[in-house]
Structure 1
Amino acid sequence: MAPDRIMFIRHAEKPTANEGIGIEADGKADDESLAVRGWQRAGALARFFCPIHEPHSARLTPASVFAPGNGPASKSKRAMQTVAPLVALLRQTSQVNYVTTYLKDDGPALMGDVLTQSGVVLIAWEHKVLPSLFGHVPRAPAVPAMWPEDRFDMVWILDRAPGGWSFSQLPQLLLAGDSAEPIR
């Protein structure tokens, strides 16, 4: 068994001088949480990946969602917060396999688990680690070597193809300032 499609996103916007402080869902300040714009993106991503009447929803709606858990090397909650609205929405109408047991640097174990899933899989991860995850996918195509620090608006997609996988990028175009330009 293996997934038909694996989608990769970076966690939503984090605290910076431009984005302001990080906040938890209850509004409490927290440097390890999303910035306000990140929470906006997280909410918008729920309907992006689970559209109401879109004909392509079967290709975007994940059966499994992976986000790194907290551990000694990373206390960030941002990836889990990014997918929390989507997971909540999916749980209203169906079952979703939501996995947060892997830490951000557990790439081999994470991808080993991902490759046993079926259907569509979504991985929300830290941008510095995302490109390295492809190295754990047999016969994966080449992907950009880096995910830029300032890009929160793209979905990288691996689709099962004869003899391996094909790679594409899907712009989110959810918030003002999002770009349709692929990551190079």
Structure 2
Amino acid sequence: MSAPPIPHPITVLLIRHAEKLPWSSGNQPTALQKSEYVDTHILSPKGYERAQALVAYFLHREEILQLLERRPWGAVVAQNVDEVGGWGLSLRPKETVEPLVKALEPHKVPFHLYTKSNLPSLVQLLRSGVYKDKTVLISWAHQQLPDLVKALGVPNDKVPKWNKKRFDVTWVADFDGKGGVEFRQLPQRLLYGDEDGIMEVGKKKE
């Protein structure tokens, strides 16, 4: 069950970290590549390419600029590595937005790091009003993104399961501060192989 919507105006952008598996010419990895894959917890070459491409995307893409014109940057947030024994060891969410964070340094946009186990604290931050009338970008592992937007107040029936094959979608949760929330998905269309479609609600995660 989803929580009540955030009680103040705020726009929350959510992305999955960039690619982690070795991708060849924009194609999905083969079964053999998957079976031999050892997780190094860092981005693949294509992932680093997407991280760089996201700078221009978030600073110059028209649909993003329209959001920022109404609610300017408040903060960038990324999933951080848990302590020893934790259950989130990936550096990828942080690596995905580091080029953007650097580009935003002249604007003094805060950069926050939260671990998977501290997700409730992130929800509390967004609900606190600190970033009222601002836009906050979150880079996270895909498994928790549906639960995160539900915890912010997006209705369950609006939130799809995140397709594990997709690294190329931006979720937008737009809260009006009066109990209303608009949730939509923006295909990024940044790299070869990126899809034009969105993830369908009610469709099983692939």
Same fold (TM over 0.5): yes
Q: Percent identity?
A: 34
Query: Which position in structure 2 is the counterpart of 1:12?
Result: 18
Structure 1 residues 163 and 144 mapped into 2: Cα distance closer, same or farther (>3 Å)?
Answer: closer
Matched, 1:99 2:112: yes
One-letter amino acid matched to 2:74: A
**Is 2:64 the counterpart of 1:50?**
no
1:99 aligned partner, one-letter code? H
1:107–1:136: 8 Å Cα contact kept in structure 2? no
User: Within 2, Cα distance between the matches of 1:182 and 1:145?
Assistant: 9
Deviations 1:88-110 (A, max 9, x none): 0000x30111101x212332211
Match in the other structure for 2:3: none
TM-score by length of 1: 0.83
Give the secondary structure class of the aligned counterpart of 2:120: helix
Partner of 1:23: none
AA paired with 2:42? Answer: S
2:198 aligned residue: 182
More deviation, 105-114/11-20: 11-20
Partner SS, residue 116 of structure 2:
coil
Q: Which moved more, 1:41-50 or 1:10-19?
A: 10-19
The one-letter code of the counterpart of 1:180 is D
Shift of 1:13: 0.2
Instruction: Tell me, yes or no, if structure 1 residue 69 matches structure 2 residue 69.
Output: no
Which runs of no fewer than 5 residues in structure 1 stay unpaired?
21-28
Q: Deviations over 1:104-124 (max 9, x none)?
A: 233221111123323001011
- The reply on whether 1:136 has 2:134 as its aligned counterpart is no
Which one scores higher on RCO, CA 8 angstroms, separation ≥ 6? 2
Deviation at residue 55 of structure 1 after TM alignment: 8.0
1:8 offset after TM fit, Å? 0.6
Gaps of 5+ in 2: 1-6, 24-28, 201-206
More helix by proportion, 1 or 2?
Answer: 2
Distance change (3 Å), C-alpha of 1:66 and 1:153: same
| 1:90 aligned residue | 104
Q: Match of 1:151?
A: 166
Larger Rg: 2
Distance of 1:128 and 1:10 partners within structure 2? 9
TM-score by length of 2: 0.75
Pairs aligned (count) = 173
**C-alpha distance in structure 2 between counterparts of 1:48 and 1:2, whole Å:** 26
CA RMSD in angstroms comes to 2.5
| Cα distance change on mapping 1:88 and 1:2 into 2, 3 Å | farther
1:6 partner amino acid: V
1:125 pairs with 2:137: no
